[in-house]
Every structure is written in structure tokens, then in C-alpha cells.
Amino acid sequence: MTEPPQHAPEPQDPGPRPDPGPDTAPAQQPDLQGEARRTRESLVALRSEIAKAVVGQEGAVTGLIIALVAGGHALLEGVPGVAKTLLVRSMATALDMRMSRVQFTPDLMPADITGSLVWDARTSSFEFRPGPVFTNLLLADEINRTPPKTQSALLEAMEEHQVTVDGQTHRLDDPFMVIATQNPVEYEGTYPLPEAQLDRFLLKLDLPLPDRAVEIEVVSRHQAGFDPLALGAAGVRAVAGPADITAARAHAARVVVEPAIIGYIVDLVQATRVSPSLRLGVSPRGATALLRTSRIWAFLQGRSFVTPDDVKAMAVPTLAHRVSMRAEADLEGITARSVVEGLLASVAVPR
């Protein structure tokens, strides 16, 4: 890298300039740094607003915000009662976005999600009646309690932001995000999600059981009258909206990713494909997903460039659900999370 010049050259006098007149004033340059700061502040306010209803689970809250900014989808996993549904409802309220909830059950049909054609006697024709997928935030509650056929009904919506019914394509709203919840697959009556659908989720976020201090706060709030069905009474209000999400996407797209960081992401992904513990490694879709989430994480940290630490911060929630374990590794108690963490410790970090 060359040293910058010690003195800038003197500008040359171009001679007399014509009078620009009152209607040709010089255009103001946008204050991108100021706009980026204000956008980050709105997302910080969003986190604080959700915290009025949800105690703890900061990682899941941040993950949902990152997935929404990235235009992706998120899978929440946790045992019943850890505030998965409350988290999504609070986020929708704080964003002033429309939300639909679908309770996935063994008898749920694809048309119950996408919509169907209904005969209208007044017009003597079939008309399309939109399903709950036509919203901003779709809460697919306990998605692994329904068979794979119905699970796959979401694939087109998640990948292309549209649904096709009887040969007709219907576009979904923007922003659109699927937030699916699932109980651990060891629970009775659950169906593991197909690998193709798991790969469509940008992030998989675990919601653990709370520690003692957090659980005391939860119980104390309920003792004081907190009602999870009355978020307005809890003080949750709209502090951001679709415009803030759109602005965050634009600012995150300006975050610089050096070639060495791209190489680091690819090295991590390729290392999963040769891991002796894995039957199936991460696809190229996973590599591009890690690029997207790392850029947004860097933006949220107030940086205009991605560092290896940004990649490390997003590697587990972005990659771990995209791999398949070998049976012998499962028997030894090795998890996908531990495999990704091991690769983060072994793959060379760019300097």
C-alpha cells in the first residue's frame, strides 16, 4: 500500500463560472454514516421493546432481527414453554407488521397454509382465497408435528416468496419471513424436517431453558399481572417498521468483504464436507448464507467491513443445521454444533 500524499494538489482555476441561478443549487450528498447510525439505533430499540415481554433469549432476538434484515427465515428450537411464540408476537408488535400463526398438526393440509380456490355462487366461478402465508411474519408453530408433505408446502414460499395454486402464481408480501418453531426431534410425535427444507432456513436458533435468575424474573412478572396475550398492556409498542428493515438491508449491502474473508468462509464450508463426523456437509447455499449473516452482524456492530470474528459469531447458527451427522458420531454424542465449533478452532484464520 502506497503512502498517502502529504499535501493535496492545489486546484486549478477553471475561469469564470456562469451564474447557476436559483433553481440549480448544488445537490446535497446523503449522510450515509448518519443514516446507518440511525438505522442501527432503531434496531437496538426493537430489541429493547421485545425485552418488555420476553425475558432473556437475547441471542434468539438478535438472530431473528438478522434473519429479517437478510430476507431469510429462522427456525426456533426449544422445549414447550420457553417463549417461542411470545417472542414472535412481540417482534411483530414492535415492528408494526402483520403476523399469521399456523399450528402445525398431523392432519394439516398444504392448502391450509397457501390458500385454495373457492366457488363463488355470485360470480359462478372459482376465486382464490389466500391462506395465512400472505402476511409479513408467518409463525409456523411446531412445524415438525406435521408430515413432510405439508412441511414442503412452505418451500416455494420460502425460496421464491410466492405460492402457486392451480397453476396460478401469487406473490407474497414484502417483507416476508417464516419463523418456524419446533420441539426437539426426540419428543414423541415429531417428524424430522427434510434436509432440503432445513437448508432454506437462514438461521437455526436454540432457546434454552432459563437459568434461575431469569426464571425468577419471568415468574415475578406474571405475579405482577403480566399477560402474554396483552402485549399492549405490557408496554410493547411499534418502534420500527418495514422502512427500517429496508434501510438496514441497504446499509448492510455496503459492508465490505475482503477476498481473504470470502476465502475463510469457503474454507469453513469445505471443511464440513471432509469432516469424518459428517455424512453431508454444507452446500454452497450455506456459504452465501454465512456471507450475508456476517455482513449484517458487522453492520450491527457499527463496522463497515467484515472481520473473521464476525464470521465466527454467525457460523454456528448459520451452518450447524445444514449438516447431517454420521450414525457412529451420533452414538458417540457428537453434535453438529460441536463439529462446527471444532472447525472454527482448526481452520486457518486470515490475517
Query: Does residue 3 lie within any of the structural domains?
Result: no
State the pLDDT at residue 215.
92
For residues 219 and 182, the model is more confident at 219
Asked if residues 114 and 66 have their Cβ atoms less than 8 Å apart, the reply is: no
Among 201-205, 207-211, 255-259, name the one with the lowest average pLDDT.
Answer: 207-211
Q: Any bridge partners for residue 119, and if so which?
A: 126
Query: Does residue 248 lie within any of the structural domains?
Result: yes
Q: Where are the beta strands (DSSP E) in the chain?
A: 74-77, 99-103, 115-120, 125-130, 137-141, 162-165, 168-171, 177-182, 203-206, 278-280, 324-325
Among 18-22, 175-179, 326-330, name the one with the lowest average pLDDT.
Answer: 18-22
Query: Does residue 56 lie within any of the structural domains?
Result: yes
Q: Structural domain of residue 216, as residue ranges?
A: 32-254
| DSSP assignment letter at 282 | -
Please report which helix (H) or strand (E) contains residue 47, including its range. helix 32-50
Query: What is the mean pLDDT of the segment spanning 139-143?
Result: 90
Per the structure, the count of domains in the chain is: 1
Query: Does residue 238 lie within any of the structural domains?
Result: yes
State the pLDDT at residue 12.
42
State the pLDDT at residue 185.
59
Query: Does residue 346 lie within any of the structural domains?
Result: no
Question: How distant, in Å, are the alpha carbons of 156, 237, 289 from that of 150?
Answer: 12, 34, 25
* CATH number (domain holding residue 179): 3.40.50.300
State the pLDDT at residue 18.
46
Predicted TM-score of the model (pTM): 0.84
Query: Does residue 116 lie within any of the structural domains?
Result: yes
Query: Does residue 341 lie within any of the structural domains?
Result: no
Query: Does residue 146 lie within any of the structural domains?
Result: yes
State the pLDDT at residue 323.
93
State the pLDDT at residue 80.
83
State the pLDDT at residue 269.
97
346 falls in which pLDDT band (50, 70, 90)? very high
Residue 7 has pLDDT above 70, yes or no: no
In the numeric block, the cell 417483507 is attached to 175
Residue-wise pLDDT for 176-194, tens only, equals 999 999 877 556 666 777 7
